[in-house]
Chains A and B, each alone.
Chain A
Amino acid sequence: MSTTVRSAAVPLADVLPPVVRRGRVRTFLRRHPTAALGGVLLAVMLFVALFAPWLGTVDPTAIDPIHRLADPSARHWFGTDMLGRDVYSRTLYGARISLLVGFSVAFCASAAGTVVGVAAGFVRPLDSILMRIMDGLMSIPPILLAIALMALTQASVQNVIFAISVSEFPRVSRLVRGIILSLREQPFVEAAIAAGTRLPRLVWRHILPNTVAALLVQATFTCASAMITEAILSFIGAGTPPIVPSWGNIMAEGRALWEIKPYIVFFPAAFLSVTVLAVNLLGDGLRDALDPRLAKRL
């Protein structure tokens, strides 16, 4: 590389960009080794979720009563549960539910929170009303609100996503509103308004891009918290339908037998913890890398 730089014949633009970009990734990895670890772990979990059928699994719902409660072995790596279902297959397929719920809630809560936050930040008469409502929603502990919402509807993955999103989005709306209130005072926003920028364009071009960093970091924490809430809901019987092999359901089924067959609870629990840890590590790294000032707010 040094020889190319020295020969002045090569235009600088051809040389510099890749060098800079690679340097950034390397610096990021060196400065945030834990975030890199989180990224790798999450990538592994995504791989497991996407390719579950080809990772030596059998049908996660197939019942085989003769081989029920088998200890982990070469045939059943994580053993079997009380209906003879393969815990390894169920745990791997469980990654799909957990990640689906985590990512969906992160997306829905961010979207809804942004809409409410923008409305509160720009439409002054709405601000106090919306924020009182958000305060009220935030006063109900998130898990309880999700439980109460699930009690209203049928158990399904969509309803779980909806219930957890409702209990998570007020926090996002508070965050977005706070950022918007401080952005509104910034000279570049005043300049944009003075230049006659209409509100939708102002929000889209000048405000929203400046909330992306905080939203992204908040979204990772929302995702982690949603995966835990989903597992808790399923564990207490208010989450995904029992037929769905989600980690919470596997643990709920293993609960009665956990004193003699702890592995039925242990394997999904370990997968859940590792996945949540991965997302949290990634979020911490993103927060430090994108904006150190965020560290205090989140």
Chain B
Amino acid sequence: MLAYAARRVLATIPVMLVVAFVVFGLLYLAPGDPAAIIAGDQATPAQIAAIRVSLGLNKPFLVRFGSWLWQILHGNLGNSIFTGLPVTHMIAQRLEPTLSLMVLSTVIAIVVAIPLGVLAAAKQGSWIDRAVMALAVFGFSTPVFVVGYLLAWAFALKLGWLPVQGFDSIRHGIVPFLRTLILPSVALGLIYIALIARITRATMLEVLNQDYIRTARAKGVGQRAILFVHALKNAAVPITTVVGSGIALLIGGAVVTESVFAIPGLGRLTTDAILQRDYPVIQGVVLLFSFTYVVVNLIVDLLYTLFDPRIRY
């Protein structure tokens, strides 16, 4: 197990290197000369050249990639072209809303989708099954901002139950925090619900056909225990895999959800950075999100042995 874990962790290194290379390549290819931008409008060509040397911009591509990577490994993502602040600092400021949004979405998705999927599989072919599958198809087809606007229109504008937009930190109390976060989380979670419900249903259908389930029925185990204890446990591996890979959808969706609900998180930081062509910020956010995605999937891989002790590496 430990050897497997070590191998699995090591295997993420080349993947992250590729990510870093792509992200660095983006900055390298970005139009505009960073030295000229830093030097300002009044600078002479000689001053710009001096800044270029001091930044190491005259060095070959791979040397620059190496030193950039070295800085990243030391937690230095560079400074924003626009504000001059360290990118790590800007990310840290925006972390709370995005993290809250993603965690709440994941919780909602898992809590809603797994019972739905189990129920659909248990009553295969019934109206419940059809409704769940229809929900899944709609979840896949409705872009997150459309869901967001529909929810905001219904629950905030028409019913007036919840604020239309904005974000309240958890430090101001859990109730205002949840009130601002619930609509965006549901909007963001819908596609995730679709994904998890579909895989749960498919896997459960497979598991429910196995002999040990018939044995459990024969010895008189109740339907609920069969579904949620005997069967779900054995369906856990594919479900966890999808929960892990679905994080990519969540990350992409968060960027848009934050725009719809005016949440000052990493997504808004990204959107603003694009409009201002603030490449170091874009780089930092892409690196951070990709790293999160890789780490989440690494954890998922390692969780397999916990869910299914038969898996031995």
List the interface of chain A (C-beta within 8 A of B). 34, 132-133, 135-137, 139-145, 147-152, 224, 228-229, 231-232, 235-238, 251, 255, 258-259, 262, 265-266, 269-270, 272-273, 276-277, 280-281, 284, 295-296
Q: Is B88 an interface residue (CB 8 A)?
A: no
Kindly state the separation between the CA atoms of A147 and B268 in the bound complex, as whole angstroms.
13
Given contacts A140-B286, A265-B149, A280-B141, contact A135 B255 (CB under 8 A): no
Kindly state the separation between the CA atoms of A255 and B23 in the bound complex, as whole angstroms.
31
Q: Do A135 and B18 touch (CB < 8 A)?
A: yes
Q: Is B248 an interface residue (CB 8 A)?
A: yes
What chain B residues lie within 8 Å of A255 (beta carbons)? 259-260
Q: Do A141 and B252 touch (CB < 8 A)?
A: yes
List the interface of chain B (C-beta within 8 A of A). 14-19, 21-23, 26, 29-31, 137-138, 140-146, 149, 153, 157, 164, 202, 248-249, 251-253, 255-256, 259-260, 270-271, 273-275, 277, 279, 282-283, 285-286, 289-290, 293-294
Closest to A229 in B: B252
State which of B15, B140, B279, B285 has its C-beta within 8 Å of the C-beta of A144.
B285
Main secondary structure of the interface of A (DSSP, over half): helix
Closest to A227 in B: B143
Closest to B297 in A: A139
Q: Do A236 and B17 touch (CB < 8 A)?
A: no
Q: Do B19 and A136 touch (CB < 8 A)?
A: yes
Interface centre among A34, A236, A237, A266 (most CB of B within 10 A): A236
Q: Do B30 and A269 touch (CB < 8 A)?
A: no
Q: List 20 A-B pairs, Cβ < 8 Å.
A: A132-B18, A141-B252, A142-B248, A143-B252, A144-B285, A145-B286, A148-B23, A151-B30, A228-B143, A231-B143, A232-B143, A236-B271, A238-B274, A269-B145, A270-B146, A276-B140, A276-B143, A277-B137, A277-B142, A280-B141
Closest to B247 in A: A141
State which of B26, B31, B144, B146 has its C-beta within 8 Å of the C-beta of A148.
B26
Given contacts A269-B143, A280-B140, contact A259 B157 (CB under 8 A): yes
What chain B residues lie within 8 Å of A236 (beta carbons)? 255-256, 259, 271, 274
Kindly state the separation between the CA atoms of A232 and B31 in the bound complex, as whole angstroms.
24
Kindly state the separation between the CA atoms of A132 and B10 in the bound complex, as whole angstroms.
13
What chain A residues lie within 8 Å of B275 (beta carbons)? 237-238
Q: Do A272 and B153 touch (CB < 8 A)?
A: no
Q: Do B271 and A132 touch (CB < 8 A)?
A: no
4 additional A-B pairs beyond A262-B157, A272-B143, beta carbons within 8 Å, are A137-B22, A141-B249, A144-B255, A151-B273
Closest to A221 in B: B140
Q: Do B149 and A140 touch (CB < 8 A)?
A: no
State which of B146, B255, B274 has its C-beta within 8 Å of the C-beta of A269.
B146
